[in-house]
Structure 1
Amino acid sequence: MVALIPMIIGLYFGKRLKVYEAIFSIVFLFLIFDGDHWQQGVNLLIYLVYEFILTFTYQHYRTKKDSKNKTWIFYLMVILAIIPVAAVKYLTAFPIKSMPFVIGFLGISYITFKNVQVIMELRDGAIKQVDPLTYARFLLFFPTISSGPIDRYRRFKKDFDKAPSRDQYIDDLGTATRYLFQGFAYKFIIGCFFGTYLLPKISAAALATGNANGGLKLSWWVVAYMYVYSMYLFFDFAGYSLFAVSISYYMGIHTPMNFNKPFISKNIKDFWNRWHMTLSFWFRDYIYMRFTFFAMKKKLFKSRIRLSQVSYFLLFLIMGFWHGLTWYYIVYGIYHATAICINDAWLRFKRKHKDKLPSNKFTEWLAIFITFNVVCFSFLIFSGFLSQLWFGWQ
């Protein structure tokens, strides 16, 4: 907060201190990657050079007259951009003991998402020109580098290129302060209560019950674990996302929110429009929609329903693999894809029989209740606790 004061004063008087902001970010990035994490810092620098080469090579290529006819160059650049994060995910799941150095660094996934987004929008023509300094600031934006939210280059550049008006910035200061205290309440009070106090006790009770029963038997302790873990996951994750958004607002950058009351969702699609929104929207725009358009263009499926189902499974399988190469992350992805396909079938049934089905406050709350429990069970899968129960009972 002390380091933010010069930026706050500058923005209050309508000036963005870009040099100071760059120094501020570099200093705090150094603090993240110092000490035992210095190898991660070196990896970050190497990775940035690599991604810069890809992005600006492709930008230069796009200036050529025949560039639109060679889509394989675009696919090659996207594949090369995601190879580092894919390698990190693989080596995390299957480490090589003889490897003397650290692979990857904190925040590699979020930077990769940003880089792939820029390459795709260069191809679409949505981005005409990438400024190297703005691009470096975009990729290395300190508040969001480690945990998101995932911003978009065009939106970031719009904020970065000019300082907000005084009235707008005063509003930003109020919003930033509110998000900061809300983040503290979420992460260090509510999240801590669920995660540090309740979760270990319930976990131990569930494991003890399983050992006593001598088999994979779901007890009420497992049900309790499901709800407590879900609350912990939300308040912890939403808490540090609020910190990132708060510091961004102090810096005059309107980083998008990551959560919007996800536990009042009326169906699973509504949930994904409220939960980790910047990630779900990124996957929607750059995987789901692009695969759908590609499949429609190539006429891979006769039925639009079948196409959407395949697209959902592709989307959530990739999301599962992105979280990690373990069975429960993959099952988590399959579970959500299945839930969305069932939800789509139900919505089609409702449209067909809308005159025969009731629609009132009770059905609305019932939908919220069902969605909440469907989501909480998915988090139980995601937590890996079922794996602990199984292996703990063998």
Structure 2
Amino acid sequence: MAFSSLEFVFLFLPAMLAAYYITPPKVRGVTMLLGSLFFYWWGVRSNPWMLGLLLVLMAWTYGAGVVMVYHRAWARTILVLSWTVLFGTLLFFKYMGLFAESPLPLPAGISFYTFTMAAYLADVARRKGPADWNPLRFANGVLLFPKLLSGPITPLTSVRRPCCRVSNFNLDLREFIWGLGLKLLLADQLGGLWRQLGNIGYESVSAPLAWLGLVAFSLQLYFDFYGYSKMAVGVGHMLGYHLPENFDHPYASRTMTEFWRRWHITLGAWFRDYVYIPLGGSRCSSGQHIRNLLIVWICTGLWHGSTLNYLLWGLSLFGLIVLEKRWTGAFFQRHGILCRLYMIPACLLTWMLFAIPDLHQLWTFAGRLFTEYSWSAPDFQRHLQQYGGYLAAGILLATPYPERLWRRLQRTAFGTIVLVIIFWAAAYAMAAGQNDPFLYFSF
């Protein structure tokens, strides 16, 4: 069930909030579990085996955590075996398409809940977190519906029970509506420009339109996932659960290293804590440090998809980050204008690798970027007129300044009017079937 659907906004969410707060506090965990199970089942009801798979992996993880406590000498072995089961299952579904003509669909949320359970077992094995003996509390930590399908990826200890007071329900609702608007009224509209390039054929687009399309895709991906994350955080807070922010204005970054500290923050933190630091992090020789970065970025690319373009995308980011750490990073941090001249093409060209799975099409599109330029090209002018307003809004909202202004205005009457307009415009888009699936659902 997508957050940007009529059934979620007008049926499930109001019913869930009402049921949760009508229920006595001591049994709200049961209400949350039942609501989360229904939320997931509704989304996969045409493939109910996905729910069965999730429950089996949860049972394995719960049992492994308990056994680790009883048999500390076997904790490392149990961890290796459990990670093999969890990541083996993830890799099986992600890469089945390379070997099977009719692969099974990717289970909803598997990339996210696998990382949640793997982190839990690693923390128990290393005694950095307690094993949860309460199956209800453990299940809620994994299944909590605001973060189940696309994160944020959070430690189970932070979401097994409500941990924040619901004193700002009004602000949390506003955050949800703001995220809904970013998704439906901005990201989905920008996605229309990128889709049109595919319909035209990459070999037929002019160079200015190709660059314009990359700008549109870069903004679409950001506002699609950022909007989802804002909705997830808002719903979590409405229920008393603290979920971390996943983005911190990444397009305001001066280097690619900084960009990836600000983009999908919880995924980066997971790879840092469970891959990069255990390998030695930066506290090792230069060669080992580069090796550690290479492993992290290969894993990041493979986490996003099974096609070769994701591996190339991860390797390109690895190359840029190594260059920054060894030579260029300090220079760009000191020179604001030059860092923008570097980051704009760096972001666009790496997102190009991310956006186009077919390598032949990718090569064709890359070639169009550097053909003869004509800013008066009819296709460029036509699409700029059609999408220029959305692009301008996206570029502006990708900077920190509008959010700072919005924090001041959202409690005012003017802010309330703006949110009401956003909500009903988003509702109209949902009713008209203009709500595209969240892009990160495919990962």
What band does the TM-score fall into relative to the shorter chain?
0.7 to 0.9
Do the aligned partners of 2:86 and 2:118 also contact (CA within 8 Å) in 1?
yes
Structure 2 distance, partners of 1:239, 1:103, is 25
Whether the 8 Å contact between 2:172 and 2:234 is mirrored in structure 1 is: yes
Establish whether residue 43 from structure 1 lines up as the match of residue 38 from structure 2. no
Match of 1:378 in 2: 350
* Contact kept? 2:20, 2:28, Cα under 8 Å: no
| Matched-pair contact (CA < 8 Å) for 1:3–1:24 | no
Write the deviation string for residues 35-91 of structure 1: whole angstroms up to 9, x where unpaired. Answer: xx2x3x3233234224422442343133225336xx344222212221100100111
- Equivalents in 2 of 1:236, 1:128: separation in Å? 35
Equivalent residue in structure 2 for 1:343, among 316, 324, 328: 324
Alignment match, 1:237? 225
Q: CA RMSD in A?
A: 2.9
1:53 corresponds to 2:60:
yes
Q: TM-score, normalised by structure 1?
A: 0.80
Aligned to 1:307: 288
Contact 1:265 1:271 in 2 (8 A): yes
Question: 1:324 aligns to what?
Answer: 305
Which residue number corresponds to residue 23 of structure 1?
34
Q: What amino acid sits opposite 1:381 in the alignment? A: L
Which of 73, 82, 85 is 1:77 aligned to?
82
Structure 2 residue matching 1:254: 3-state secondary structure: coil
Q: Residue 289 of structure 1 aligns with which residue?
A: 277
Name the stretch that deviates more: 16-25 or 73-82: 16-25
Verify the 8 A CA contact 1:292 1:308 in the aligned structure 2: yes
Residue 215 (structure 1) aligns with: none
Mark the CA change 1:193 to 1:132 in structure 2 (over 3 Å): closer, same or farther: same
Query: Is 2:11 the counterpart of 1:4?
Result: no
Distance in 1, matches of 2:305 and 2:247, equals 22
- Structure 2 distance, partners of 1:106, 1:358, is 40
Runs of 4+ in 1 over 6 A off after TM superposition: 13-16
Partner of 1:364: 336
Q: Aligned partners of 1:126 and 1:308: how far apart in 2?
A: 24
CA contact (8 A) 2:162 2:239 kept: no
Of 161, 167, 172, 1:170 maps to 167
1:17 is paired with a residue whose SS is: helix
CA distance in 1, matches of 2:188, 2:243: 25
Whole-Å separation in 1 of the counterparts to 2:330 and 2:256 = 16
- Residues 54 and 140 of structure 1: is their aligned pair in 2 closer, same or farther, counting only changes over 3 Å? closer
Letter in 2 for 1:62: V
Whether 1:140 aligns to 2:143 is yes
Change in 2 beyond 3 A, CA 1:237/1:109: same
Write the letter of the residue equivalent to 1:366: L
The equivalent residue for 2:267 is: 279
Residue 234 (structure 2) pairs with residue 246 (structure 1)? yes
> Relative contact order: is structure 1 or structure 2 higher (C-alpha 8 Å, sep ≥ 6)?
2
Alignment partner of 1:66: what SS? helix
- Given candidates 212, 228, 245, the residue that maps to 1:257 is 245
Contact 2:112/2:148 (CA < 8 Å) preserved in 1? Answer: yes
C-alpha distance in structure 1 between counterparts of 2:363 and 2:347, whole Å: 22
Which secondary structure does the structure 2 equivalent of 1:119 belong to?
helix
The range that moved more, 177-186 or 71-80, is 71-80
> Aligned pair 1:113/2:115, yes or no?
yes
Note the C-alpha offset of 1:248.
1.1
Runs of 5+ consecutive residues of structure 1 not aligned to the other structure: 211-217, 297-302, 351-356
C-alpha displacement of 1:205: 5.0
In structure 2, runs of 5+ residues without a counterpart are: 1-12, 368-443
Matched positions, count? 352
> Compared with structure 1, are the counterparts of its residues 220 and 148 closer, same or farther at alpha carbon in structure 2 (3 Å cutoff)?
same
Q: How does 1:197-216 map to 2 (within 5 A)?
A: 198-204=193-199, 207-209=202-204
The alignment status of 1:184 with 2:180, answered yes or no, reads yes
